[in-house]
Amino acid sequence: MKTYIIAEVGPNHNGSLAFAIEYIDELANIGVDAVKFQLGNPEKIYSLDAFKAKYQSRAESSRSPIEMARKHQLKPDQHKVLYERCKEFGVDYLCSAFDLDSFLFLDRNFDLPYYKIPSGEIFSIDILDYISDRRKPIILSTGMATYDEINVAINLLNRDCKKEITILHCISNYPVPYEDINMNVMLELKKRFGYPVGFSDHTISNECSIVAVAIGASIIEKHVTADRDLPGPDHQASSTIEEFSDLVKSIRRMRSFT
């Protein structure tokens, strides 16, 4: 079974379309299956009382999460360029949407191989309601959610018909200390819910993703940056492209043994 490897660029293009295209070109060359971005309207995502996480405050000078998000995002129509570039280079374009309007834009303009539900939107009822009467495969991240909450989300998604879902074990901490990973949770997710599982890796190194594949992860998602020293909220908690290349090679070798 081939592991589906997602390189999460997220906002690490720093709001530059040209930089985002460079990521696609380089990541396609190292053999990833998908390059993932993010889309959302900051005014709809954050409350006026929202505050930045500690890792974001250290790496980003913006005064508020709204200002930070505006500074590091692309316009919706620029994602059309990224989608076409991914097709040209033979990799899947994926994108996490953080509000319903952004989700509708993606679904109406692109033939996405998966709906990706990020951890923060596992209880965005409007998005889950929209997905519930569609049949596209779903990748569901579960950072911060309890087993009961995951169960509620899955039941909502399955309201009209049983969905093809892959559940990602995820720790919403950037970067994650090794002692907090507990890869047994991924196995518990598979046991409890009966769906394929994967791992959304927020560690810096590759070991945890390799362990996840060894014990059954069908999807690996990991943040990637061109340079950890770049300004921006996620660079310091991301793998470099060179490190990501090593991860892809390791996973492909592992799969050749089975």
pLDDT per position as a tens digit, 185-219: 999 999 999 999 999 999 989 999 999 999 999 99
pLDDT per position as a tens digit, 69-105: 666 689 999 999 999 999 999 999 999 999 999 999 9
pLDDT per position as a tens digit, 120-132: 999 999 999 999 9
Q: Which two tokens stand for residue 232?
A: 């921006």
What is the value of pTM for the model shown?
Answer: 0.92
| CA distance readout (Å), 50 to 4, 16, 44 | 34, 25, 12
Q: Where are the alpha helices (DSSP H) in the chain?
A: 17-29, 42-45, 54-59, 65-71, 76-89, 100-109, 125-132, 147-157, 184-193, 207-214, 241-256
Q: Tell me the C-alpha distance between 246 and 249, whole Å.
A: 5
CATH class of 4-256: alpha beta
Domains of the chain: which residue ranges?
A: 4-256
